[in-house]
Structure 1
Amino acid sequence: MAGTSDPLTPRAKLAVTAGKAVAAASRAAGRGSGSVIGGRVALKLDPDLLARLAQNLDVTLVSATNGKTTTTRLIAEALKAAGPVVSNALGANMPAGITSALAGGSESKFGVIEVDEKYLAGVARDTDPKCIALLNLSRDQLDRAAETRMLAENWREGLAGTKAVIVANCDDPLVVWAASSSPNVIWVAAGQMWKDDAWSCPSCGGVMQRPGDDWFCGECGFRRPTPSWVLSGDHVLDPHGSAWPIHLQLPGRANKANAASSAAVAAVFGVPPQVALERMYQVQAVAGRYDVVQFQERDLRLLLAKNPAGWLETFSLIDPPPTPVILSVNARGADGTDTSWLWDVDYTRLTGHPIFVLGDRKLDLAVRLEVANQHFQVCDSLDQAVQMCPPGRIEVIANYTAFQDLRRRVGN
């Protein structure tokens, strides 16, 4: 770790102060947390500010298409056992938001940072991380994100020869391809429910063979590495073969996978699995995700699903029929404006549930549900949808901006 002398030059201190002032003004004007605009202003005043702020921190970066925010939160909770942690807990995961978050953590020992997939290589260059967690890569925001194979290539080039310990999911061939350029990789068998973005070999383009949980390319020999950490049911097996129970308040298999990767990261910093996993139990919700809120005398569980892989995992954790399901889809800038991904989601998994559809692109979703032979009703608002449901639990699944709209409406 770097020395503990103050890394901030007068210019950097001015940039931090100005950024915080702009963020505070943005919050006062009711325009969100202000972290992004504050970070942008700070970086304009000192383009090297992110590197300066990270200088005295042991940094972990977390990147993936799904599960970044939750895994970042789980790792941050685990590392608090070893010292103060600063983290971009609200999910502002591009350089400006990351800079803003680190500016608020001057006394911290650890930085746990969620990073948008497209920015990982650059943020890694600036922050000199001790550890990087790579969870998965799948299609997302089709109008602006590079195709997954290109993202994997960017990771592979950007992380080649890095000093960081890479904690990587060995069940995702794209992640394995990206991580394989690094000299120090810890492989975690975290599983992969969504496989439709990894049927061709990222190394040679050949067809991937997938017997059971294994995978390999029959043409070039690229294959699943042997994991040292394994998610096995409700336990994570550590490199010594010891089984540690995963007790989470967050639902679903995907979050157990996130916890397994988080335990592997915590171990890099000397936090034992038992301590790490016990601390992860404290996490009840992440930026509103998984919260159960009372609204019009019903219990709404708020679930975020942004892309086909996320929807598949979400369907696996909702209560069985006849629990009503409200689906809301927008296609604004933060979501990606191309909704063709809806056709990659298997909506037959909702058979038996009363379904209510809303959001800016409710008609796109309605056409997709019609083709999947689902019974549904199109609604103008959350209030109307909820009124059509009986008292009790309602599962509410939304993509990114639709989720934020719903949180505002229910006062979450």
Structure 2
Amino acid sequence: MAGNSDPLTPRAKIAVTAGKAVAAASRAAGRGSGSVIGGRVALKLDPDLLARLAQNLDVTLVSATNGKTTTTRLIAEALKAAGPVVSNALGANMPAGITSALAGGSESKFGVIEVDEKYLAGVARDTDPKCIALLNLSRDQLDRAAETRMLAENWREGLAGCKAVIVANCDDPLVVWAASSSPNVVWVAAGQMWKDDAWSCPSCGGVMQRPGDDWFCGECGFRRPTPSWVLSGDHVLDPHGSAWPIHLQLPGRANKANAASSAAVAAVFGVPPQVALERMYQVQAVAGRYDVVQFQGRDLRLLLAKNPAGWLETFSLIDPPPAPVILSVNARGADGTDTSWLWDVDYTRLTGHPIFVLGDRKLDLAVRLEVANQHFQVCDSLDQAVQMCPPGRIEVIANYTAFQDLRRRVGN
């Protein structure tokens, strides 16, 4: 726990120093933040480094298909009310990136760490977390991500008997299945807009019944647990039934859900909901997401959507028609190379919006929009798309590497 003497062995100190030097060299060469390569070098020199760096921290892990970077940021802001926080705020969420982030926080009391879904069990073993937040599970990166039920099973096995308090979304059956092997779970009713990955029971394979906001398996009795925290409109209800207003600069229902889960996590560390939620208001954008930027004399709002569930949530928060919309999709390594997920997205929700299409896979997207009966134009560049857009703030929705390309182009 925090306050112990220096946990780092001479070998660990050398590993940290070498990692920082490599990261600095990578930044100087213009190859990004350097956090991943720095972490890899450090872990090569001391394979136990992540565990050593975490042992003086009260650690929270955050994992999900969507919303983990934003929720990590909201929890970090809330916990700053109780002491200094170290976090992998830029989203480098595999062991190397996490190690790099923690190496920079020697004076911190709390570690708030976003973890890629596939690495959650291993990082939990290394960091001995006090709290783990599980938000949602849905299809993502079809060419290499495990099928969602397998991922839920991996979480369930990896977290069985875990001493951490698990803060879990009771509206996602896959998350409930994953969390219910743990002895200490705080259930949050955070909602679930995308339900297409949770029609069969993760426990027995039976068909899920979904009356209203409830769900249960008609065959084995696996059912939605009773939540102690509830997202209700613009408020979060705490376990005592008190309603606390959620005031965010981040848009949309999904971010209110992230705030509700974050308030539940903050309470585990003794930060009251009112204090936690007030601090979350400071967050305006997360790694460029939700930023409104000026480009060619126009206002562009940058929105990240990496998979069907993310696109569905994003469509719910864009300006109403006839606001122009630019869509950009790539299929590089970090995105997953299989774009068949485009067929799972309901693009009829964009009816009435002028649509402009970019990215490495713009023709895949064009075929999908054609079938959805949407009016769109294929463009060669962001500059061309912006010039063609009718008046109004432009909503720009992109998947992962396409989003990074756009940020570089607009100088964000």
- Normalising by the smaller structure, the TM-score range is over 0.9
Deviations 1:44-80 (A, max 9, x none): 0000000000000000000000000000000000000
CA contact (8 A) 2:177 2:202 kept: yes
CA contact (8 A) 1:297 1:391 kept: no
Q: Distance in 1 between matches of 2:389 and 2:122?
A: 47
Per the TM alignment, residue 232 of structure 1 is displaced from its structure 2 partner at its CA by 0.1
Per the TM alignment, residue 390 of structure 1 is displaced from its structure 2 partner at its CA by 2.9
Per the TM alignment, residue 365 of structure 1 is displaced from its structure 2 partner at its CA by 0.1
Per the TM alignment, residue 31 of structure 1 is displaced from its structure 2 partner at its CA by 0.2
Deviations 1:161-182 (A, max 9, x none): 0000000000000000000000
TM-score using structure 2 length: 1.00
Q: Distance in 2 between matches of 1:292 and 1:170?
A: 33
Q: Distance in 1 between matches of 2:106 and 2:143?
A: 38
Deviations 1:263-304 (A, max 9, x none): 000000000000000000000000000000000011000000
Summarize the alignment of residues 254-403 of structure 1 with structure 2, pairs less than 5 Å apart.
254-403=254-403
Question: What is the match of residue 203 of structure 2?
Answer: 203
CA contact (8 A) 2:61 2:112 kept: yes
Q: Distance in 2 between matches of 1:46 and 1:340?
A: 41
Deviations 1:67-121 (A, max 9, x none): 0000000000000000000000000000000000000000000000000000000
Q: Distance in 1 between matches of 2:5 and 2:122?
A: 25
Change (3 A) 1:306 1:230: same
Per the TM alignment, residue 12 of structure 1 is displaced from its structure 2 partner at its CA by 0.2
Question: What is the match of residue 405 of structure 1?
Answer: 405
Deviations 1:243-273 (A, max 9, x none): 0000000000000000000000000000000
Deviations 1:12-57 (A, max 9, x none): 0000000000000000000000000000000000000000000000
Per the TM alignment, residue 389 of structure 1 is displaced from its structure 2 partner at its CA by 1.2
1:133 aligned counterpart, secondary structure: strand
Q: Distance in 2 between matches of 1:334 and 1:2?
A: 35
Per the TM alignment, residue 4 of structure 1 is displaced from its structure 2 partner at its CA by 1.1
1:171 aligned counterpart, secondary structure: coil
Q: Distance in 1 between matches of 2:390 and 2:331?
A: 29
Q: Distance in 2 between matches of 1:268 and 1:317?
A: 30
Q: Distance in 1 between matches of 2:250 and 2:166?
A: 25
Q: Distance in 2 between matches of 1:271 and 1:374?
A: 47
Question: What is the match of residue 23 of structure 1?
Answer: 23
Q: Distance in 1 between matches of 2:291 and 2:3?
A: 41
* Structure 1 position 103 matched with structure 2 position 141: no
Deviations 1:205-263 (A, max 9, x none): 00000000000000000000000000000000000000000000000000000000000
Question: What is the match of residue 75 of structure 1?
Answer: 75
Per the TM alignment, residue 145 of structure 1 is displaced from its structure 2 partner at its CA by 0.4
Per the TM alignment, residue 183 of structure 1 is displaced from its structure 2 partner at its CA by 0.1
CA contact (8 A) 1:36 1:100 kept: yes
Per the TM alignment, residue 2 of structure 1 is displaced from its structure 2 partner at its CA by 5.7
CA contact (8 A) 1:312 1:346 kept: yes
Deviations 1:115-166 (A, max 9, x none): 0000000000000000000000000000000000000000000000000000
Q: Distance in 1 between matches of 2:382 and 2:3?
A: 53
CA contact (8 A) 2:61 2:114 kept: yes
Summarize the alignment of residues 67-146 of structure 1 with structure 2, pairs less than 5 Å apart.
67-146=67-146
Q: Distance in 1 between matches of 2:105 and 2:4?
A: 14
CA contact (8 A) 1:59 1:112 kept: yes
2:393 aligned counterpart, secondary structure: strand
Question: What is the match of residue 242 of structure 1?
Answer: 242
Q: Distance in 2 between matches of 1:291 and 1:270?
A: 31
CA contact (8 A) 2:133 2:168 kept: yes
CA contact (8 A) 1:69 1:89 kept: yes
2:300 aligned counterpart, secondary structure: strand
1:392 aligned counterpart, secondary structure: coil
1:225 aligned counterpart, secondary structure: coil
Q: Distance in 1 between matches of 2:117 and 2:319?
A: 31
Q: Distance in 2 between matches of 1:239 and 1:296?
A: 49
Q: Distance in 2 between matches of 1:391 and 1:149?
A: 44
CA contact (8 A) 2:131 2:164 kept: yes
Name segments (4+ residues, structure 1) moved above 6 Å: none
Q: Distance in 2 between matches of 1:283 and 1:105?
A: 20
CA contact (8 A) 2:2 2:109 kept: no
Per the TM alignment, residue 391 of structure 1 is displaced from its structure 2 partner at its CA by 3.9
Q: Distance in 2 between matches of 1:15 and 1:74?
A: 30
CA contact (8 A) 2:189 2:231 kept: yes
Structure 2 stretches of 5 or more lacking a match? none
CA contact (8 A) 1:194 1:312 kept: yes
CA contact (8 A) 1:171 1:192 kept: yes
CA contact (8 A) 2:303 2:395 kept: yes
Q: Distance in 2 between matches of 1:328 and 1:250?
A: 21
2:96 aligned counterpart, secondary structure: helix
Deviations 1:356-398 (A, max 9, x none): 0000000000000000000000000000000001343000000
Q: Distance in 1 between matches of 2:377 and 2:391?
A: 18
Structure 1 stretches of 5 or more lacking a match? none
Q: Distance in 1 between matches of 2:159 and 2:375?
A: 47
Aligned length: 412
Per the TM alignment, residue 3 of structure 1 is displaced from its structure 2 partner at its CA by 5.3
Q: Distance in 2 between matches of 1:83 and 1:359?
A: 43
CA contact (8 A) 2:324 2:392 kept: no
